[in-house]
């Protein structure tokens, strides 16, 4: 007997067990968690603070491929690298007590990343498990009759990375356009109450990040599972699955889905910009912030400049953190709506259509931005100063994916080194801030360069630096770290970035002064 055609890519399941694959997945995660939880500092055996055996490594690591066939809840089995455990999208939910229970079980970013690192080290010391044989056609028929068939499509490591990079490129372009558009929209009207342009993109990007981090409906734990017509009545056993552990398992599982990585790291990270935030702090300090269409700022003493500096810092951080929690609360509020109307992303569309289509869209849109920069629609050979497309948007789109991909790989390789200090995010934020300061200086040096050079430098600042640095990830890490570590990390980021700007931009501002930009009217 041969299996029907829809078994292609099927890699086995739970034998003839009547339990649903998604219930077995959660049960396996919690069993592993309860077995290893006693090693966590300050928590008793069985107290749920995480998932012990990280589901990211459980389902994707090459050290545990056999167990991933039995436990993975997602029919799209993405083979992701181990470093994806340290991506910007953390495993810590912004709202760890959504139901407002009287007992709150808190987790921290340090504990999660320490557990991930220790798990990887332990697994590398173990011998590779024997390869599990593929399920036969008889096993498939038996599981089909039991109603537990979950057709899984194995996605190779190369294809997973290609899809992830394509999503990052595509959403970095969208995030850059959203940031530039929102800046133009919120800073171009008279009598604006907030005159520095970076505030609203940072707030809006943090709202989206909070929604994605808290949401469990777009990428549900039973994503793509077929309904089980022969459900068991063992509700007591299902009730023993701790919701907190299941939630943490699902948050780690989302990080293995390229579409989620593209949304959280690509779109939110490119929508927000830490380098622009630090630039606005320095401009407030140097009294160079002026409302749109107004005259140059009035001279003031150092005390008022210090107050302006604090105003930019406090306003941006407060609104960004507020946006993170507003997005999380929004995800909690509309969860019942998603459940009632069965909304969400169908895995067949994402895995079989969108993942493949995004390769063409990502690289095609990037190529389109390059072509638009070479031949801009408003090109005037006789009057190049009237060209605005390249300086406003197209050059920024050319450099945006480079910054986003650099941030992605830096976070994947560096964030896990110091659990109490996200080194990858810190490094890219400092690097992007320094590069933006240099581009700003070159653009504002009097009598230096032409219009095209000015447009390229503006594209580097808005595109590369804007996507290399991120506020959405930064504030999500601040919210997830322990209080002392959060203040150290936040203070080092703001203080280090401002120190770089004082050295780079201050050397020009307090010597020759800033000249007029030639490519921006």
**281 within 8 A of 501, measured Cβ to Cβ:** yes
**Torsion angle (degrees, nearest 10) of CA 361, 91, 420, 488:** 80
CA-closest candidate to residue 293, choices 436, 158, 195: 195
**476 within 8 A of 214, measured Cβ to Cβ:** no
Global confidence as pTM: 0.75
pLDDT tens readout for residues 147-178:
444 455 677 888 889 999 999 999 999 999 99
Q: Model confidence at 446, in pLDDT bands (50, 70, 90)?
A: confident
Query: Residue 8 and residue 31: Cα distance in Å, rounded?
Result: 30
Cα–chain center distance at 277 = 18
Query: Residue 69 and residue 79: Cα distance in Å, rounded?
Result: 12
Query: Residue 348 and residue 313: Cα distance in Å, rounded?
Result: 45
CA-closest candidate to residue 325, choices 208, 439, 244: 208
CA-closest candidate to residue 162, choices 361, 2, 305: 361
449 secondary structure, DSSP code: -
* Residue 2 pLDDT exceeds 60: no
76 secondary structure, DSSP code: E
Question: Residue 94: what pLDDT?
Answer: 75
CA-closest candidate to residue 507, choices 442, 428, 433: 442
Where are the alpha helices (H) located in 341-422, listed in sequence order?
347-349, 355-374, 389, 395-414
Where are the alpha helices (H) located in 45-99, listed in sequence order?
55-60, 65-71
Question: Residue 210: what pLDDT?
Answer: 93
> Phi, psi at residue 24, to the nearest 5°?
-65, -35
Question: Residue 486: what pLDDT?
Answer: 94
* Residue 61 pLDDT exceeds 50: no
What size, in residues, is the chain?
A: 521
Cα–chain center distance at 29 = 24
* Residue 106 pLDDT exceeds 80: no
C-alpha distance across the termini of the chain, in Å: 73
More confidently predicted of 74 and 192:
192
Question: Residue 51: what pLDDT?
Answer: 39
Compute the Cα dihedral for 394, 398, 399, 401 and give only its sign: positive
Query: Residue 215 and residue 212: Cα distance in Å, rounded?
Result: 5
| β-bridge mates for residue 78, sequence order | 155
Question: Residue 189: what pLDDT?
Answer: 74
More confidently predicted of 408 and 352:
408
* Residue 133 pLDDT exceeds 60: no
pLDDT tens readout for residues 331-371:
988 888 877 777 777 777 787 889 899 999 999 999 999 99
3-state DSSP assignment of residue 216: coil
């Amino acid at each position: 007997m041969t299996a029907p055609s829809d078994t292609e890519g099927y890699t086995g399941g739970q034998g003839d067990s009547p339990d649903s694959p998604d219930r077995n997945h959660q049960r396996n995660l919690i069993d592993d968690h309860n077995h290893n939880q006693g090693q966590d500092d300050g928590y008793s055996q069985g107290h749920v603070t995480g998932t012990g055996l990280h589901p990211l490594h459980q389902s994707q690591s090459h050290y545990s491929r056999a167990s991933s066939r039995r436990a993975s809840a997602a029919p799209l089995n993405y083979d992701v690298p181990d470093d994806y455990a340290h991506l910007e999208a953390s495993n810590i939910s912004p709202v760890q007590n959504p139901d407002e229970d009287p007992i709150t079980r808190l987790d921290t970013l340090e504990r999660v990343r320490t557990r991930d690192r220790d798990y990887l080290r332990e697994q590398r010391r173990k011998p590779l498990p024997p390869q599990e044989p593929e399920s036969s056609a008889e096993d498939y028929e038996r599981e089909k009759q039991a109603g537990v068939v979950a057709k899984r499509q194995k996605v190779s490591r190369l294809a997973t990375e290609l899809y992830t990079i394509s999503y990052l490129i595509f959403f970095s372009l969208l995030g850059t356009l959203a940031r530039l558009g929102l800046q133009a929209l919120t800073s171009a009207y008279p009598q604006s109450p907030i005159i520095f342009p970076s505030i609203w993109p940072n707030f809006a990007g943090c709202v989206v990040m909070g929604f994605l981090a808290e949401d469990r409906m777009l990428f549900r734990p039973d994503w793509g599972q077929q309904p089980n017509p022969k459900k068991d009545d063992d509700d007591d056993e299902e009730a023993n699955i701790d919701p907190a552990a299941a939630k943490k398992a699902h948050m780690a599982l989302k990080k293995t889905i390229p579409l989620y990585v593209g949304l959280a790291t690509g779109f939110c990270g490119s929508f927000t910009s830490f380098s622009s935030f630090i630039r606005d702090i320095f401009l407030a300090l140097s009294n160079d912030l002026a409302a749109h269409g107004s005259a140059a700022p009035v001279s003031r003493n150092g005390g008022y400049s210090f107050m302006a500096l604090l105003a930019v810092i406090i306003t941006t951080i407060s609104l960004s953190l507020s946006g993170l929690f507003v997005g999380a609360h929004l995800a909690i509020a509309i969860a019942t709506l998603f459940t009632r109307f069965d909304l969400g992303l169908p895995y067949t569309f994402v895995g079989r259509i969108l993942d493949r289509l995004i390769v063409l869209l990502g690289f095609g849109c990037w190529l389109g931005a390059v072509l638009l920069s070479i031949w801009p629609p408003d090109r005037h050979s006789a009057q190049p100063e009237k060209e605005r497309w390249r300086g406003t948007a197209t050059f920024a789109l050319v450099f945006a994916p480079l910054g986003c991909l650099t941030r992605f790989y830096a976070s994947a390789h560096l964030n896990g080194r110091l659990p109490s200090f996200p080194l990858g995010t810190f490094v890219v934020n400092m690097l992007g801030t320094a590069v933006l300061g240099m581009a700003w200086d070159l653009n504002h040096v009097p009598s230096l360069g032409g219009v095209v050079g000015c447009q390229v430098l503006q594209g580097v600042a808005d595109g590369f630096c804007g996507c290399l640095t991120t506020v959405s990830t930064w504030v999500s890490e601040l919210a997830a770290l322990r209080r002392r570590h959060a203040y150290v990390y936040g203070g080092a980021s703001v203080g280090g970035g401002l120190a770089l700007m004082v050295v780079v931009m201050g050397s020009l501002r307090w010597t020759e002064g800033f000249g007029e930009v030639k490519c921006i009217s």
